[in-house]
């Protein structure tokens, strides 16, 4: 079946009225006749100049095209716009009468194809859809706008710069917080770390700060007190080193020996019984040296108690210096002492020799005195007993209490510095009756010579009688 096309010029064509079309064959046979309204069968050209642009929002696209240039059909054409992403089916179709369109809510960063077609709207002119225009592709935007990216990067850089500068300026403070300094005690100890290299023992011993340091840490509340010499002591034997009461003994041997010659002589015979102590020098630390408490034996009056010569009637004795010296005294001995100092050596010797036998000694003592021979001095030997009766100290000559009971002895009990010892009493008693020094005399039943304090006078008399 062939198809025939007839074209008429527009000046011959009238719209809005029925147009009778008659097809005849050879002008005699009418093939067909039709009345058409041309304004109902209009086909336009497809829209041209389709443009797709991005809007401010990244997910929007703006489509524009130009209308067909038919003067009298301006408001009678409607369009169809189709948009679809690449590779998928048609997504959206919009029918509008304007020549522009905005598609919203699209996918980001995707490519879209847009095409448009047209058709008369059918009010006064009607027709058929045109073909689709050529598709135009366009890409939607993305969320990461490059401007925003650059701005945020700049902000981050500025923040980091600020942080770094703050770190640099506050480095010291931060370091102190993280690594706190360990305090050093150097300023409290002068020279401890510099001179002595941290040796605390050396620093304590040698530096002048020792005194200060000691004073600072060991404050003694008790002031130094004057020590009262109660007796001239010999060096005590080593076995008594632990005894507490030895503190009251003073080592005055050198002092005693240096002052008087007979003291030297005393040291000799005491040690060796058979020796002839002729000018034997006694070492200062000779333990055999003992004290003679009789001032009358001292030559020339030079004695320890120089300024205090004792006479029966003498009152000017210094008690602090010589509290014990008056125990034995005899006015005759002093004169005899002056006369024959040499004989005293013999007397001493005799006295020492007779020590072993109590009877002979005593007799020699007494005989020595009675015969006018040099005064046999009385010996002061003492032994010290503890509270339980144990022997604490014994004089170097081994004087034993229980053996030598025949010669007078004094048994005393004392608790250290005795409160009963009264200096005033001593003074008064001396003035009155030449009493002994010790007033606090104990009582011991088995010792007939042990007298009480009230019987001190009798004691001294007794002693004197023995000596004479």
Positions in the binding site for other proteins (CB under 8 A): 10-18, 37, 39, 71-72, 74-75, 97, 123-125
Nearer to other proteins, 14 or 311 (CB): 14
Nearer to other proteins, 8 or 163 (CB): 8
CB of 72 to other proteins, least distance (A): 6
Nearer to other proteins, 125 or 459 (CB): 125
Q: What is the CA radius of gyration of the chain?
A: 73
For residues 59 and 106, what is the distance between their CA atoms, to the nearest angstrom? 5
Q: Put residue 416 in one of left, alpha, beta given phi > 0 → left and psi -120 to 50 → alpha.
A: left
Q: DSSP letters of 188-220? A: GSTTTTTTSTT-HHHHHHHSTHHHHHHHHH---
CA dihedral sign, ordered 416, 419, 420, 421: positive
Nearer to other proteins, 126 or 457 (CB): 126
Q: Put residue 27 in one of left, alpha, beta given phi > 0 → left and psi -120 to 50 → alpha.
A: left
Nearer to other proteins, 16 or 200 (CB): 16
CB of 32 to other proteins, least distance (A): 20
CB of 119 to other proteins, least distance (A): 16
Output the CA torsion 125→131→137→141 (10° steps): 30
Nearer to other proteins, 9 or 180 (CB): 9
For residues 133 and 285, what is the distance between their CA atoms, to the nearest angstrom? 142
CB of 3 to other proteins, least distance (A): 27
CB of 12 to other proteins, least distance (A): 8
91 φ/ψ angles, rounded to the nearest 5 degrees: -105, -50
For residues 222 and 225, what is the distance between their CA atoms, to the nearest angstrom? 8
CB of 123 to other proteins, least distance (A): 5
CB of 49 to other proteins, least distance (A): 21
Which class for 290: exposed (0-12), middle (13-18), buried (19 or more C-beta within 10 A)?
Answer: buried
Nearer to other proteins, 125 or 192 (CB): 125
Nearer to other proteins, 118 or 298 (CB): 118
CB of 71 to other proteins, least distance (A): 7
For residues 71 and 221, what is the distance between their CA atoms, to the nearest angstrom? 130
CA dihedral sign, ordered 19, 20, 25, 27: negative
């Amino acid at each position: 079946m062939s198809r025939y096309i007839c074209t008429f010029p527009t000046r011959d064509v009238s719209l809005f009225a029925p147009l009778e079309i008659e097809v005849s064959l050879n002008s005699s046979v009418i093939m067909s006749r039709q009345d058409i309204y041309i304004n109902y069968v209009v086909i336009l050209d497809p829209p041209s100049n389709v443009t797709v642009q991005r809007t401010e929002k990244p997910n929007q696209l703006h489509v524009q095209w130009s209308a067909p240039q038919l003067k009298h059909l301006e408001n009678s054409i409607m369009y169809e716009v189709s948009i679809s992403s690449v590779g998928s089916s048609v997504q959206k179709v919009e029918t509008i009468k304007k020549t522009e369109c905005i598609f919203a809510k699209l996918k980001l960063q995707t490519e879209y194809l847009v095409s448009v077609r047209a058709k008369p709207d059918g009010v006064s002119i009607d027709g058929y859809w045109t073909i689709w225009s050529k598709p135009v592709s366009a890409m939607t935007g993305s969320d990461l706008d490059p401007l925003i990216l650059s701005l945020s990067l700049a902000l981050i850089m500025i923040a980091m710069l600020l942080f770094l500068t703050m770190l640099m300026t506050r480095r010291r403070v931060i370091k102190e917080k993280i690594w706190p300094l360990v305090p050093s005690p150097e300023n409290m100890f002068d020279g401890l770390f510099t001179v002595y290299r941290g040796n605390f023992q050396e620093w304590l011993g040698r530096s002048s700060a020792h005194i200060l340091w000691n004073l600072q840490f060991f404050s003694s509340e008790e002031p130094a007190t004057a020590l009262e010499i109660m007796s001239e002591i010999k060096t005590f034997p080593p076995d008594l080193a632990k005894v507490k009461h030895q503190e009251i003994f003073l080592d005055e041997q050198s002092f005693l020996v240096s002052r008087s010659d007979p003291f030297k002589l005393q040291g000799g015979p005491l040690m060796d019984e058979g020796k002839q102590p002729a000018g034997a020098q006694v070492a200062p630390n000779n333990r055999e040296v003992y004290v003679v408490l009789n001032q009358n034996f001292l030559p020339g009056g030079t004695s320890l108690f120089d300024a205090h010569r004792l006479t029966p009637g003498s009152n000017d004795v210094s008690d602090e210096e010589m509290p014990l010296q008056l125990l034995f005294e005899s006015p005759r001995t002093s004169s005899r002492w002056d006369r024959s100092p040499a004989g005293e050596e013999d007397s001493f010797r005799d006295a020492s020799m007779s020590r072993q036998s109590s009877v002979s000694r005593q007799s020699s003592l007494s005989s020595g005195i009675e015969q006018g021979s040099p005064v046999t001095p009385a010996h002061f030997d003492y032994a010290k007993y503890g509270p339980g009766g144990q022997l604490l100290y014994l004089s170097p000559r081994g004087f034993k209490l229980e053996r030598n009971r025949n010669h007078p002895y004094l048994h005393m009990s004392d608790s250290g510095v005795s409160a009963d010892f009264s200096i005033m009493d001593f003074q008064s008693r001396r003035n009155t009756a030449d009493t002994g020094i010790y007033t606090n005399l104990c009582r011991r039943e088995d010792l007939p010579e042990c007298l009480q304090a009230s019987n001190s006078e009798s004691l001294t008399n007794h002693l004197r009688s023995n000596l004479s």
